[in-house]
Structure 1
Amino acid sequence: MPPKLIPVFTGTARYRGAYGGRGSGKTASFALMTAIRAYQHAMAGESGIILCGREFLNSLDDSSMGEIKAAIRETEWLAPHFDIGERYIRTKSGKGRVDFSFAGLRTNVDSLKSKSRILLAWIDEAETVTSLSWSKLVPTVRANNSEIWVTWNPEREQSATHQRFRANMDDDMKIVELNWRDNPWFPAVLEAERQRDLKSRPEEYDWVWEGDFRKLVAGAYFAKGLTEAKQQNRIGFVAPDPLMTTRAYWDIGGTGAKADACAIWIAQFIGTEIRVLDHYEAVGQPLATHVEWLRSKGYDKAQMILPHDGAAHDKVYKVTYESALREAGFAVRVIPNMGAGAATKRIEAVRRILPQCRFNETTTQGGREALGWYHEKQDEKRGIGLGPDHDWSSHSADSFGLLAVDYQQQPTSTRQPIQYKRLR
């Protein structure tokens, strides 16, 4: 196996795993190790199940069965110890018997409790496993010295798998990052594919091959513009100009667990350059929380730019965001309703102004991820687009669209390069 995986399978651990991009060899390695573990348990006189799961599993064709069969058959000393059928894998040597079981966690996790003794659970393609599935699976794997193995290609930092196994690693976890360069047997055919993606699909290269989070979605509205910003070094440290107006562009959310997110972008227009300084997003929080963030970051003097619904009265309190922010001491301006096709107008405006943007890397990361994800919702049956998908990314995208529209509406004189006089 790749040398980087040897420490993962050395010593004791409750959790073992690997994450990373394509071509790393992690799936093949873990498939082989599940078979070796099954053999070890059987030879030690232990009986039970090796559970191989994924969040979604419609049939055995979608499972890890094929990988495990191949690993056993290709390992000369291991093959004689297994009975392999079209729809099953089990040990046939030793004092005990170990069977492989394949299940989809989303639909079968409750039934796992009725399974016989689970010695090991290997969850492949674990990026999509939900927090609920993990909370049900973990206590099900409760035999003495039982283990849970996890392999996945990262996609979102907010995923339940990342939060459980990377963001909050414990001492009983042995988990490593594994990418193509860590695989001594990385094949030439995949090297050709990697080079092709590097050249033709740079917006997805880091996610597919380098194990990075998926910051851009192929076909997303702003993927090309953000890729160019990275290539042209327009994402890095960006300092504010203390003499220029600072603007805060809002997409208004609400309060409560099911409310839309509130998103804010902080920017300055300096000549023909747009300095994007900061980004904020919160779900279900009151206005006071947003105001506290603005003040804590030193944006007391920033001009608040609200969408047209910022002037709409709240059904309960009979106040508006506009009036509440004015009362809090902020300068406020409301952008009029853009009418029919407003979403399309915002998208086109963002595409036009992205080449003029410079992003402060650390403080705008979450916002750039949202922009990179924002994409067309598709009717797969009819093969047509249905407009922007209203998902987690749309709130930050809408507030950035407000920024773009407002920039284009600024007097031309404010967008001319600044002229500096030489001091004599």
Structure 2
Amino acid sequence: MPKSAIELPHRFTPRPYQQPVVTAFLRDGVKRGVCVWHRRAGKDKTFINIMAAKMAERVGSYFYYFPTAAMGRKILWEGMDGAGMKFLDHFPQDFIRKASHTEMKFEAVNGSIFRIIGTDRLDVVGTNPVGCIFSETSLQNPLGWEYVRPILAENGGWALFNGTPRGKNWFHDLTRMAEKNPDWFCQVLTVDDTGAIPPEAIEDERRMGMPEEMVRQEFYCDFTAATPGAIYAQLMESARREGRIGSVPQDGGLPVWTFWDLGAPVNTAVWSVQFLGREIRVLACDTGADWTTGRRVAEMMARNWAYAGHILPHDGAARQKGGLTYAEELEKAGLRNVITLPVAKDRRAGINRLRSMLPSMCFDEARCKTGIAALEAYHLEYDARRKMYKDEPRHDWSSHACDALRYLAEAAACGAVKVGGMEQPSRVISPIEGLGDVWAGGRRRAHYISALD
């Protein structure tokens, strides 16, 4: 495609505070960047124009990541700016050869591919991109970046991150790293820096019920402000402050228990835990791996840990297409003492139990990296229309790991395990109806759970 045929960026003139990132990526050849910009600073309008120009320069696949595909469709694929211009209209019609509304994808006339993807579905993260944008990064699954980073390093591709703070999570760590790395572009802009939002508009938000913590985050880019609606974030911050996140070696003299949340292979989360009295040593959180059941068990066995048992949620006893339950599949693959919990009647009670246990936990930072990020990100959803938080946590990428660790608390509450030594329950109280049979300890039996005394 001749360079003179189509002018890119198209119908976009950056504001003065937007110009530095445009210059860095379109003129200076910078390949990594973080923009922490306040709400309504024009993040996606600026970034989509950078991507459009990059697509014309180099033929390849370009992915625009959002926390969920639904968010990407609403904000970018179907969204528009304050003046009513659709974001996708920054791609001239002559630049687009064919498009798929269903896949939120189009092919440019020069062969480049543009696609919007949600990192909550890691099975569609995509392959071999040469340019990536992560929008609302603080809400994204960090595994999305872990997956594409080596690809971009190998093919010389570029990546840009934008968003506002949501506490000291992985976006905070990424920003602090970028500030110190001369190879990265980094820009933090508050409303005081841009003047794009008048003070009276922010006061209106306060009067209408926006929590002060959210005001600090959304308009003043304050990473230290408490995350509104956070469920475990403050407890995890205490764990960091108290030195309970670091190196946690596996103790060969203690058995290892695992706690699972089941889903598609990449969404299945498994925590490995040891108990010493009231101390809970969290050794690993395995999630985001596209493994078969056999491969997953083989990876577990390769650690040479002495497993005492494996705790699954109630759906571990559901029959699958092949006729076996997932618990039976794990037993068939080589695990022993696979225990399926009853249906949790009250998620909030389980969350509160886990909150009470977190101060007794220490986490291996390397092996639990994604799980720790999930615990920091897990939050109640804010209803902007009603100016209040919903009763249930937001279901997103962080839910799987957080549910899996919650089953530790559920297992302790119903007596399936005991924190002090983790003995098997010795007294059968009542059968769990509707679960059918499970495999446990190599023999088929009806599954019962004991209650705590």
Q: TM-score range by the shorter chain?
A: 0.5 to 0.7
Deviation of 1:16 after TM superposition, in Å, equals 6.2
- The secondary structure found in structure 2 opposite 1:178 is strand
Equivalent residue number for residue 186 of structure 2: 178
| Aligned-partner SS, 1:21 | strand
Q: Which amino acid aligns with 2:325?
A: T
Could you tell me which amino acid in structure 1 is paired with residue 331 of structure 2? Answer: R
Matched, 1:400 2:402: no
Q: Return the match for 1:354 from 354, 358, 383.
A: 358
What secondary structure, in the 3-state scheme, does the structure 2 residue paired with 1:226 have? Answer: helix
Structure 2 residue aligned with 1:421: none
User: Aligned partners of 1:174 and 1:323: how far apart in 2?
Assistant: 43
Deviates more, 1:281-290 or 1:161-170: 161-170
1:16-36 deviation per Cα after TM superposition (whole angstroms, max 9, x unaligned): 66314348xx989x98xx9xx
Does the CA-based 8 Å contact 1:236-1:360 persist in structure 2?
A: yes
State the Cα distance separating 1:388 from its structure 2 match.
2.9
SS in 2 for 1:244: coil
Aligned residues: percent identity?
20
Hey, what does 2:394 align to over in structure 1? 389
CA RMSD of aligned residues (A): 5.2
CA distance in 2, matches of 1:210, 1:167: 32
Aligned positions of 1:361-380 closer than 5 A: 361-377=365-381, 380=384
Matches within 5 A, 1:324-335: 324-335=329-340
Tell me the equivalent position of 2:277: 271
* Residues in 2 aligned to 1:315 and 1:336: alpha-carbon distance in whole angstroms: 17
Alignment of 1:77-156 (within 5 A): 103-105=86-88, 108=89, 112-115=91-94, 136=107, 139=110, 154-155=137-138, 156=140
SS at match of 1:261: coil
* Structure 2 contact 297–334 (Cα < 8 Å) conserved: no
Look up the SS of the partner of 2:404 in the other structure: helix
Q: What is the Cα deviation at residue 115 of structure 1?
A: 4.8
Instruction: Indicate which of 223, 236, 241 corresponds to 2:246.
Output: 236
Larger Cα Rg: Structure 1 or Structure 2?
1
Deviations 1:91-127 (A, max 9, x none): xxxxxxxxxxx6413xx47xx342589xxxxxxxxxx
Select which of 320, 324, 346 maps to 2:325.
Answer: 320
- Over residues 316-343 of structure 1, what are the superposed CA-to-partner deviations in whole Å (9 max), with x where a residue is unaligned? 32222333333333222425315521x1
Number of the residue aligned with 1:94: none
Q: CA deviation at 1:240?
A: 1.3
User: Is it true that 1:248 corresponds to 2:254 in the alignment?
Assistant: no
Q: Measure how far apart 1:160 and its partner are.
A: 7.1
Matched with 1:124 is: none
Equivalent-residue separation in structure 1 for 2:333 and 2:144 (angstroms)? 37
TM-score, scaled relative to structure 2: 0.53
Which TM-score applies when normalising by structure 1?
0.56
CA distance in 1, matches of 2:228, 2:109: 34
- CA distance in 2 between counterparts of 1:334 and 1:161 reads 34
Residue 21 (1) aligns with residue 26 (2): no
Instruction: Rate the CA distance shift 1:271–1:163 in 2: closer, same or farther, 3 A.
Output: closer
Q: Tell me which amino acid in the other structure corresponds to 2:93.
A: S
Higher helix share: 1
Aligned to 1:168: 152
In structure 2, how many angstroms separate the alpha carbons of the residues matched to 1:116 and 1:323? 53
Which one-letter code corresponds to 1:114 in the other structure? Q
CA shift for structure 1 position 293: 2.2
Cα 1:186–1:400 change in 2 (3 A) is: same
Letter of the structure 2 residue corresponding to residue 21 of structure 1: V
CA drift at 1:271: 1.9
1:213-267 deviation per Cα after TM superposition (whole angstroms, max 9, x unaligned): xxx9531221121121122221111111110110111112256xxxx82211001
What residue number does 2:433 align with?
none
Kindly indicate whether the alpha-carbon contact (under 8 Å) linking 2:31 and 2:158 is maintained by their aligned counterparts in 1. yes
Answer yes or no: is 1:289 the counterpart of 2:304.
no
C-alpha contact (below 8 Å) 1:268/1:276 kept by paired residues = yes
Match of 1:76 in 2: none
What are the Cα deviations for residues 259-293 of structure 1, in whole angstroms up to 9, with x where unaligned?
x8221100111122111110112476432132122
Partner SS, residue 297 of structure 1: coil
How has the CA–CA distance of structure 1 residues 387 and 316 changed in structure 2, closer, same or farther, with 3 Å as cutoff? same
Shift of residue 345, structure 1, vs aligned partner: 2.3
* Count of equivalent residues: 315
Structure 1 residue matching 2:250: 3-state secondary structure: coil
What SS does structure 2 have at the residue aligned with 1:358? Answer: strand
Matched position secondary structure for 1:248: strand
Aligned residue for 1:344, secondary structure, equals helix
Alpha-carbon distance change, 132 to 300 in structure 1, aligned in 2, over 3 angstroms: farther
CA distance in 2, matches of 1:141, 1:313: 44
Question: Partner of 2:117 in structure 1?
Answer: none
